[in-house]
Amino acid sequence: MPFTVALTGGIASGKSVVERCFRTQGVNVYDADHAARVVVEPGSQGLAAIVAAFGEDVLNAQGQLDRPAMRQRVFADPTARRTLEAIVHPRIRQWMLEHAQADEGPYAILAIPLLAENIGHYRWVDRIVVVDVPEAIQVQRLMARDGVDETLASRILASQATRAARLALADDVIDNSGPDTALDPQVAALHRRYLALAAARG
């Protein structure tokens, strides 16, 4: 297994910008959100299992998973959500593991938004880096990005692991409370550290 770093952070913390910074350093980034789409593509075992559990009406006219309809369905029904997660999450984890194992770069980044909620399944990573911002900034960014009001933004934050829970897992922390330009030197420093750690492990 190559040296592997899990990257996480709460919603609207700026994980995608940090991902881009690592990519500019020549590091491969494997994103759990991307994996979630891949494992339910038409023709996949994941989509077949969802259809078997929920019926053909979860598909759109193109034979793809109707994500908005599925989201509404599981949001209103905790049992349906658990059923969907039991189908999708193990496949996401397997996709991430296989891509990390096959990576030929100096080290690999796994971008996992819900790492704190699923840490038991990712004990095999070598390092955890958390993109951290104060919750008030998360709320402001979420309102601006998604056009939601403060009440809904706060409720979305409350549905995730707490900031303290994420920070408790962190080996490294990236402070993203400032402008995007402040990220480059932080990522560059971590990149040098991870190269050294990967080389030391051999």
pLDDT in tens, 92-105: 999 999 999 999 99
Tell me what percent of the residues of the chain surpass a pLDDT of 90.
Answer: 82
Average of per-residue pLDDT across 10-21: 93
Structure tokens at 188: 């560059």
Kindly tell me if the per-residue pLDDT of 202 is higher than 80. Answer: no
Residue 61 is given by DSSP the state T
Handedness of CA 121, 125, 127, 131 (dihedral sign): negative
Burial (CB count <10 Å: 0-12, 13-18, 19+), residue 159: exposed
Handedness of CA 144, 146, 151, 155 (dihedral sign): negative
Q: What is this structure's pTM?
A: 0.89
What number does CATH give the domain 1-27+110-202? 3.40.50.300
Q: How confident is the model at residue 68, as a pLDDT?
A: 86
* Residues 3, 197 contacting (CB under 8 angstroms): yes
CATH 3.40.50.300 domain residues, the chain: 1-27+110-202
Residues for the chain: how many in total? Answer: 202
- How does residue 76 score in pLDDT terms, banded at 50, 70 and 90? confident
Q: How confident is the model at residue 74, as a pLDDT?
A: 85
The CB density around residue 179, as the number of other CB atoms within 10 Å, is: 7
* Residues 156, 148 contacting (CB under 8 angstroms): yes
Q: How confident is the model at residue 22, as a pLDDT?
A: 97
Q: What is the pLDDT of residues 142-192, one digit of tens each?
A: 999 988 899 988 988 888 899 999 999 999 999 999 998 999 999 999 999
- How does residue 201 score in pLDDT terms, banded at 50, 70 and 90? confident
Task: Give the burial string for 104-115 (b: 16+ CB within 10 Å, else e).
Answer: eebbbbbbbbbb
Alpha-carbon span 49 to 87, nearest angstrom:
7
Kindly tell me if the per-residue pLDDT of 71 is higher than 90. Answer: no
Q: How confident is the model at residue 73, as a pLDDT?
A: 85
Q: How confident is the model at residue 115, as a pLDDT?
A: 95
